[in-house]
C-alpha cells in the first residue's frame, strides 16, 4: 500500500512544478506575424527595367560639327516684275476668247476678240484723213501749176502747201491710232484682236464670252506670268534675323517633293516688321526647274555663320513618340532611362543629328523601337 501512495505523491508534486514553470513563460505575438512586404517604388516614369538588358545593343553618340540652322515656312509666288497684264485699249463686247486660265501661251498668240465702236471710229477717221490728204495734194499740184503761169498769187500757193501738210499730219495721227489699237490699216474692221504681249502662263482671267469691257477702265482681261523665275516669301521672327543675310543662299525643301532640295538666293529683307507678330518678310528668288507651282508651301533653311557641336546617333536610336523625339540611355541594374531630345537633319550612313538633349560620348540603345515594344508588353 505504501508504494502506490508514494508514486501518486511524486506525480502530484511533478505536475505542480511543471505548471509553475509554464506560468512564467510569456507568448510573443510578433513572432507569429508574417515577415513585412518589401515594395520597390519607381519614382521616375521614364525609367524602365527589363529582364535581359544585354539583348539591346548600345551605340555611342558621336560628335558632329554643324552650323546652326533656322527653318521657316514660306510660299511660292510669281515674280511681280514678270507679271504682264493683257489690256484692251478700246471699249466693246467680247465675241471670242481663244485662251483660258492656266494655259501656256506664246508671244503674239491670239487671246480674244473685241467688237468695238472705237475701232470702227478709228478706221473712219483714217479713211477721211486719207481722202483729205489726196484732195489737198491735188490742190497743191494745181496751185503750183497756176503759180508758175502767174494765174494765182504766192499767198494762195502757201495756203495750198499748208493744207497739204496738215492733211499728211492727220493721216499719220489716224494711222498711229490704229496701230495703238492693234489694227491693220489694210484690213478695215470693227473687231479688235488682242494678242499675247509675252510668253508665259495665264495666271488671272477676268473676262468671259459676251462680256463687255470699258478699255483701261475695266479690269485687265488676262495676266500672263513668267514661271521660269519665281519668288519665295517667308516670315522670319525678329530674334532670328541674324540668320538671314542678303546675297546668301538658303536650302528650299518642297512639301510636294520631300526628296528635292533647291537653292534660293536672299534678294530682299523688308525694312518694316509686322507689328503684331514681330516678323520680317524675306524674299528668296530662284529659277524654276519646272515643278514649282504658285502657292506651293516650302520650308527654307537658313544657315548661321558659327558652327556648333552636336551629337549624332543611328537614326534607329531615335523614337518619335507623341510628337516628340526620345532615346533610351542605359543605367545600372538592367534599367534604361528615356530621354527627350530634339532630332535634326539626316546624315550619311543612316545617322541623324541630335541638336539638343544628348551630348557626344553618351550611350543609347541602338534600336529604340524594339525596347519600347518590350516595355509595353
Tallying the residues shown for the chain, one arrives at 377
User: What is the grid cell recorded at 147?
Assistant: 503759180
Could you give the CA distance from residue 319 to residue 211 in angstroms, rounded to a whole number?
Answer: 61
pLDDT of the residue at 128: 94
3-state DSSP assignment of residue 198: coil
Topology (CATH level 3) of domain 47-66+307-376: 2.40.420
What is the CATH T-level fold of the domain 117-189, as seen in this structure?
Helix Hairpins (1.10.287)
What tens digit of pLDDT does each residue of 172-231 get? 999 999 888 888 888 888 888 899 999 989 999 999 888 888 888 888 999 999 888 999
From residue 201, give the alpha-carbon distance in Å to each of 94, 119, 149, 195. Answer: 21, 28, 68, 14
3-state secondary structure of 346: strand
- The pLDDT of residue 13 is 61
- Are the C-beta atoms of 204 and 243 separated by less than 8 Å? no
Q: Where in the chain is the domain with CATH 1.10.287?
A: 117-189
Q: Which three cell numbers stand for residue 317?
A: 536610336
Q: Is 369 left (phi over 0), alpha (psi -120 to 50) or beta?
A: alpha
Fold of 70-80+226-303: Elongation Factor Tu (Ef-tu); domain 3 (2.40.30)
Scan for cell 543662299, then name that residue. 249
Question: Where are the CATH 2.40.420.20 domain residues in the chain?
Answer: 47-66+307-376
| Range(s) of the chain covered by CATH 2.40.30.170 | 70-80+226-303
The position carrying cell 515577415 is 35
Question: Are residues 215 and 114 in contact, defined by beta-carbon separation less than 8 angstroms?
Answer: no
Max CA-CA distance within the chain?
A: 211
Residue 39: per-residue pLDDT:
45
- pLDDT less than 50: residues of the chain: 1, 22-25, 37-39
According to DSSP, residue 51 is labeled: S
Predicted pLDDT of residue 259: 86
Q: 335: closest CA among 47, 42, 44?
A: 47
- Summarised one tens digit per residue, pLDDT across range 92-117 is 999 999 999 989 999 999 999 999 98
Q: What grid cell was written down for 83?
A: 507679271
Nearest Cα residue to 175 out of 140, 205, 120, 130: 130
The C-alpha atoms of residue 255 and residue 240 are separated, in whole angstroms, by 23
Q: What is the DSSP string of 97-133?
A: E---TT-EE-TT-EEEEEE-HHHHHHHHHHHHHHHHH
Phi, psi of 11 (to 5 degrees): -65, -40
Q: Which three cell numbers stand for residue 67?
A: 552650323
Amino acid at each position: 500500500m505504501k508504494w502506490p501512495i508514494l508514486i501518486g505523491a511524486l506525480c502530484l508534486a511533478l505536475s505542480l512544478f511543471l505548471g509553475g514553470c509554464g506560468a512564467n513563460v510569456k507568448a510573443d505575438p510578433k513572432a507569429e506575424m508574417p515577415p513585412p512586404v518589401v515594395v520597390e517604388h519607381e519614382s521616375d516614369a521614364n525609367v524602365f527595367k527589363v529582364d535581359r538588358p544585354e539583348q539591346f545593343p548600345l551605340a555611342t553618340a558621336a560628335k558632329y560639327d554643324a552650323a546652326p540652322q533656322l527653318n521657316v515656312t514660306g510660299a511660292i509666288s510669281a515674280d511681280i516684275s514678270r507679271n504682264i497684264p493683257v489690256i484692251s485699249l478700246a471699249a466693246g463686247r467680247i465675241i471670242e476668247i481663244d485662251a483660258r486660265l492656266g494655259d501656256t501661251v506664246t508671244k503674239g498668240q491670239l487671246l480674244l476678240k473685241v467688237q468695238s465702236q472705237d475701232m470702227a471710229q478709228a478706221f473712219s477717221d483714217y479713211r477721211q484723213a486719207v481722202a483729205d490728204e489726196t484732195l489737198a495734194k491735188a490742190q497743191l499740184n494745181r496751185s503750183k501749176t497756176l503759180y508758175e503761169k502767174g494765174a494765182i498769187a504766192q499767198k494762195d500757193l502757201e495756203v495750198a502747201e499748208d493744207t497739204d501738210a496738215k492733211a499728211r499730219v492727220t493721216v499719220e495721227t489716224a494711222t498711229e491710232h490704229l496701230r495703238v489699237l492693234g489694227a491693220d490699216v489694210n484690213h478695215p474692221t470693227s473687231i479688235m484682236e488682242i494678242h499675247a504681249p509675252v510668253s508665259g502662263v495665264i495666271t488671272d482671267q477676268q473676262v468671259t464670252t459676251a462680256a463687255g469691257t470699258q478699255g483701261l477702265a475695266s479690269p485687265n482681261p488676262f495676266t500672263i506670268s513668267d514661271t521660269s523665275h519665281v519668288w519665295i516669301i517667308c516670315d522670319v521672327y525678329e530674334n532670328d534675323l541674324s540668320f538671314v543675310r542678303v546675297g546668301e543662299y538658303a536650302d528650299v525643301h518642297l512639301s510636294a517633293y520631300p526628296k528635292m532640295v533647291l537653292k534660293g538666293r536672299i534678294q530682299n529683307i523688308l525694312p518694316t516688321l509686322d507689328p503684331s507678330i514681330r516678323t520680317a518678310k524675306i524674299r528668296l528668288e530662284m529659277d524654276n526647274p519646272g515643278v514649282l507651282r504658285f502657292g506651293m508651301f516650302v520650308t527654307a533653311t537658313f544657315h548661321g555663320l558659327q558652327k556648333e557641336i552636336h551629337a549624332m546617333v543611328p537614326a534607329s536610336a531615335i523614337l518619335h513618340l507623341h510628337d516628340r523625339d526620345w532615346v533610351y540611355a542605359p543605367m545600372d541594374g538592367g534599367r534604361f532611362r528615356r530621354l527627350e531630345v530634339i532630332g535634326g537633319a539626316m546624315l550619311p550612313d543612316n545617322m541623324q543629328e541630335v541638336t539638343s538633349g544628348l551630348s557626344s560620348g553618351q550611350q543609347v540603345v541602338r534600336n529604340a523601337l524594339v525596347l519600347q515594344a518590350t516595355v509595353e508588353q
